[in-house]
Amino acid sequence: MDYLPLFVRLTELPVLLVGGGRMAQRKANLLLRAGARLTVVAPEMDTELQTLLKEYNSHWLQQSYTDDCLDGMHMVVVATPDRSLNQTISAAAQLRRIPVNVVDSPELCSFVFPAIVDRNPLLVAIGSGGNSPLLVRRVKTQIEALLPASFGRLVKFAGRFRKQVAEALPDPERRRRFWESLLDRPALQQQLESGDENAANRSLQQLLSSQDSEPARGEVYLIGAGPGDPDLVTFKAVRLLQHADVVLYDRLVSPQVLDLCRGDAERIYVGKRRNEHTLGQQQINHLLVQLARQGKRVARLKGGDPFIFGRGGEEIELLAENRVPFQVVPGVTAASGCACYAGIPLTHRDHARSVRFITGQLQDGSPDLAWEDLQGEQETLVFYMGLQGLNTICEQLQAHGHAGDTPIALVEQGTTSHQRTTISTLREMPELLRNREVYAPTIIIVGSVVALHEQLSWVEETGKPGRWPPQPG
Ligand code: SAH
């Protein structure tokens, strides 16, 4: 982070503004709204700014800037077009450790003003460290659209009853759930929008008196996190992640997806690198039950889809046995994520009429598969966990009816920014990879659809499915 975002209380604190033009007026407006005791120093001043200062009983020091103006100031904002004067003021303020902002000169600032979405008392501040004001404006517009104008009323309403609710519900967990269920009610929003505070108040009191003293009930969400790109996570997954108090995740869950969890949620890494079982499957199953029994909402985040080579079935079996409520949220499985991002359609009318997902996990040193079943004409084979057995897979498929020149793709770290796709044939792939480092996780796709990658390789350039037809060059 280049800057630490903070919210500064300026009420009644002396702040100096240098400049009397339009830019100074904008800053004056902002500082006065924040309650600052403003002094504006400028030999001349626009009439609008003069009116504003009168309205707020603020002080105009009608003179040129001198260093004495800084005496006793908590903050300085400079809005003059005179570059050398701005430099002088910035240096003097920094020498005295007074936070200083010079409009449109980030190099002279010790702090910057963010763009603001104002739903007072809710404030959203957005900054890009000066890199892209355009993108900041876009984000601001998106957030503006997301927060209804009346949102501030909702926040104030919650603030007014905070103490009463805290006394009625001393358990923080139960309190959080109370607020969630109250604030999620569309009726409450409407009541506040129409200014019917009494009705909103009644809704709150009703819900509060219906709270029993039973401990909060826990539940488990088994969530598919997709293959890596956070854009591939479902809305439902994001919503539940925002509710979860605890998140259990393993190696396949990308850090960007983990960032979608609530900031204060406890995160538990349960490992599962090949040969590195931080927690055994049994222990994970029991931990889920145990946490839910403590009244927690537990998200079990699994790479891809929880029911495709995810052992999701085993985890919910124990939950069901113990009568722990649960939900399962599907995710984009590695096969479809990697295939799409690599430009390999898994089925195609001219090439493959079916697709098989196969585990290539080694049992006693070799993939334990019924090879004779895998010679289907016009079928795409996708091997999960197949890297260790890649040579065996290539050999055995050839020994059981596949031609040596059958196309095969290896997709490493699919859908992430590190995705790499290697295309070869069953005959040549083992040799091609012999002296090359391969980065897990990887998926193997076998079948003539792989050859279409050539035509569709435009996908690779952006890392994501882009526009059709491929852009020249
Ligand atoms: N439930 C997961 C699969 C878990 S098994 C799913 O539906 O995708 C783990 C295997 O998935 C890995 O060994 C690898 O073969 C595959 N895999 C998962 N994520 C992948 C990715 N981003 N790129 C390539 N392969 C991936």
The answer to whether residue 277 scores a pLDDT higher than 70 is no
Spacing, Cα 297 to ligand 1 middle (Å): 26
Rounded Cα distance, 126 and 193, in Å: 26
Maximum pairwise Cα distance, the chain: 93
Considering only CA atoms, which residue is closest to atom 5 of ligand 1?
309
* Catalytic site residue from 27, 272, 296, 302: 272
Q: Roughly what angle, to the nearest 10 degrees, separates helices 312-321 and 281-293? A: 40
Do the Cβ atoms of 126 and 139 come closer than 8 Å? yes
> Which atom from ligand 1 is nearest to the alpha carbon of 360?
15
Spacing, Cα 358 to ligand 1 middle (Å): 11
Considering only CA atoms, which residue is closest to atom 9 of ligand 1?
385
* Catalytic site residue from 250, 296, 302, 305: 250
pLDDT digits (tens, 9 = 90+) for 425-440: 999 999 999 989 999 9
Q: Which of 136, 91, 127, 135 is nearest to 2 (CA)?
A: 127
> Which atom from ligand 1 is nearest to the alpha carbon of 385?
13
The answer to whether residue 283 scores a pLDDT higher than 70 is yes
pLDDT digits (tens, 9 = 90+) for 324-340: 999 999 999 999 999 99
pLDDT at 93: 98
Confidence band of 468 (pLDDT split at 50, 70, 90): very low
In this predicted structure, which of 6-10, 88-92, 190-194, 212-216 has the lowest mean pLDDT?
212-216
How high is the mean pLDDT of the chain?
89
User: Which residue(s) pair with 102 in the sheet?
Assistant: 78
Spacing, Cα 331 to ligand 1 middle (Å): 12
Measured from CB, residues less than 6 Å from any atom of ligand 1 are 227-228, 252, 302-305, 308-310, 333-334, 338, 384-385, 411, 413-415, 441-443
Looking at per-residue confidence, does 218 or 224 come out higher? Answer: 224
The answer to whether residue 473 scores a pLDDT higher than 50 is no
pLDDT at 273: 56
pLDDT digits (tens, 9 = 90+) for 309-365: 988 888 899 999 999 999 999 999 999 999 999 999 999 999 999 999 999 886 666
Which of 222, 309, 355, 358 is the best mutation target for the ligand 1 pocket, counting ligand atoms within 8 Å of the beta carbon and taking the most? 309
Considering only CA atoms, which residue is closest to atom 11 of ligand 1?
384
The secondary structure of residue 14, as a DSSP letter, is E
Spacing, Cα 405 to ligand 1 middle (Å): 26
Q: Which helix (H) or strand (E) holds 32?
A: helix 22-33
The answer to whether residue 462 scores a pLDDT higher than 70 is no
Do the Cβ atoms of 3 and 112 come closer than 8 Å? yes
Considering only CA atoms, which residue is closest to atom 3 of ligand 1?
309
pLDDT at 367: 67
pLDDT at 470: 39
> Which atom from ligand 1 is nearest to the alpha carbon of 383?
15
Confidence band of 466 (pLDDT split at 50, 70, 90): very low
Which of 252, 257, 270 is the best mutation target for the ligand 1 pocket, counting ligand atoms within 8 Å of the beta carbon and taking the most? 252
Do the Cβ atoms of 78 and 18 come closer than 8 Å? yes
Confidence band of 471 (pLDDT split at 50, 70, 90): very low
Active site annotation includes 250: yes
pLDDT digits (tens, 9 = 90+) for 234-273: 989 998 998 899 999 988 898 999 999 988 899 999 975 5
Spacing, Cα 435 to ligand 1 middle (Å): 23
Q: Which helix (H) or strand (E) holds 41?
A: strand 37-41
Spacing, Cα 401 to ligand 1 middle (Å): 27
Spacing, Cα 340 to ligand 1 middle (Å): 14
Name the pairing type of β-strands 407-412 and 420-425: antiparallel
Mean pLDDT of 439-467: 75
> Which atom from ligand 1 is nearest to the alpha carbon of 302?
1
Mean pLDDT of 206-229: 85
pLDDT digits (tens, 9 = 90+) for 114-164: 999 998 889 999 999 888 889 999 999 999 888 877 788 888 999 999 999
The answer to whether residue 463 scores a pLDDT higher than 60 is no
Q: How many CB atoms neighbour CB 381 within 10 A?
A: 25
**For the chain, percent of residues with pLDDT exceeding 90:** 65
The answer to whether residue 27 scores a pLDDT higher than 80 is yes
Q: How many CB atoms neighbour CB 442 within 10 A?
A: 22
User: What is the per-residue burial (b if ≥16 Cβ within 10 Å, else e) of 335-346?
Assistant: bbbbbbbbbbbb
Q: Roughly what angle, to the nearest 10 degrees, separates helices 47-55 and 22-33? A: 10
Mean pLDDT of 36-64: 96
Which of 338, 443, 445 is the best mutation target for the ligand 1 pocket, counting ligand atoms within 8 Å of the beta carbon and taking the most? 443
In this predicted structure, which of 18-32, 146-160, 385-399, 456-470 has the lowest mean pLDDT?
456-470
Considering only CA atoms, which residue is closest to atom 18 of ligand 1?
334
